[in-house]
Amino acid sequence: MHDVLIIGGGVMGLTTAWELAKTGLRVAVLDRAQPGREASWAGAGILPPGHRGDPNDPLAPLLRRATELWPEVTDALRDQTGIDNGFRRCGEIQVLEDPARLESDLDGWRINGVRAEPLSAEALRDLEPAASRDVPAAYVLPDACQVRNPWHVRALGEACRAAGVEIVCDREAVGFHMSNGRVDAVRTAAGDLSAGAFLVAGGAWSGEILKSIGRALELEPVRGQMVLLKTPSPLIRHILEIGARYVVPRTDGRLLIGSTEEWVGFVKQNTAGGVAGLVEFGRRLVPGLSEATLEACWSGLRPHTRRGTPFLGAMPECSNLFLAAGHFRAGLHLSTVTGRLMAQAIRGEEPELSLRAFAVNLNRQPDRQS
């Protein structure tokens, strides 16, 4: 029997599994398809340099710690698997449509100890000659990073296997067997899987997974569409961002343009309007993209919580069932710290950062099943 069974092999499940296995626990990860092929694959891999805004926001210390952990996690994965996850400091330029926001944005980063510098039109041209000149205001975050998230989840999967984690693919969790306020086993079509403790890390599907035991999470999928372009050589070096949309340059001339926010349920498709809007946005920001080749487009489902923060910790009234879900647009960034903290909580240790603000609250459902 395993010590811990993790449902969901996205970046949250795999990072937590790796952290647990490093301390000698016997861990299994169950995924209804192949691990790391949902939101954790679809994302852009932007890793902001920390938190912007109120430093007393409970997310601030998590974002800071997540940022600190990325170089360490990257080195450890490379040492253990030989896989480069593409983590690098590329810097990010934030373009503001409303110049009046410049000072408050800069203050919001600096108050959290993050470097943020305003850019004059000349400075922007020097940093990114291919960017549009028609920019009302801009600033740079020199310490912003990026990761090639498909490479990262592949490295995590390999590191998990090397640490003895059993990864069970193509097997869906359809319910739980419970007794005396504890989960005894996860039900699947191919039989039950028992363990000492269980973690639900099912991304946007976490609410569906918990419905089977009558727990209703306020968590929903939000679709994000993405477009991949290719130019013969890199046009830009920094991530360029306006509000919720961005262009992310890879070193090989590829550029990701993202992303939409669509409340369309569990529908993972691209639409003509979504793709056209992203391409048009990219062309406005980097006019030379008109000549780029369109390589691919895809979409992913972000796990969004109505309260705006993820659920991290033990499930109420169920002492050996844990939840790590609802990271919405920041899940890749927060995965390093989430895996560390969830492993500590599951081992029964006091997490190095408090999870109190992220405690699971839920609505009860009448159709309880076990």
Ligand X SMILES: Cc1cc2nc3c(=O)[nH]c(=O)nc-3n(C[C@H](O)[C@H](O)[C@H](O)COP(=O)(O)OP(=O)(O)OC[C@H]3O[C@@H](n4cnc5c(N)ncnc54)[C@H](O)[C@@H]3O)c2cc1C
d(CA 89, CA 234): 16
Nearest to 231 by CA among 89, 86, 130: 130
The letter for the amino acid at 27 is: V
- 16-24, 29-37, 74-82, 124-132 -> range binding ligand X (CB under 6 A): 29-37
d(CA 361, CA 351): 19
Site string for ligand X, 200-219 (x = CB under 6 A): -xxxxx---x----------
Question: Which single residue brings its beta carbon nearest to ligand X?
Answer: 331
Among 221, 331, 339, 351, binds ligand X (CB under 6 A): 331
**Contact flag: residue 38 with ligand X (CB under 6 A):** yes
Nearest to 51 by CA among 39, 36, 62, 43: 62
Beta carbon of residue 271, minimum distance to ligand X (angstroms, whole number): 14
Beta carbon of residue 100, minimum distance to ligand X (angstroms, whole number): 27
Beta carbon of residue 110, minimum distance to ligand X (angstroms, whole number): 22
- 52-60, 177-185, 323-331, 356-364 -> range binding ligand X (CB under 6 A): 323-331
**Contact flag: residue 300 with ligand X (CB under 6 A):** yes
Query: Of the two residues 25 and 173, which places its CB atom closer to ligand X in the complex?
Result: 173
Contacts of 232 (CB under 8 A, 6+ apart): 253
**Contact flag: residue 10 with ligand X (CB under 6 A):** yes
**Contact flag: residue 279 with ligand X (CB under 6 A):** no
For ligand X, the binding residues (CB under 6 A) are 7-13, 30-33, 35, 37-40, 42-46, 172-173, 201-205, 209, 224, 226, 258-259, 300, 302-303, 325, 327-333
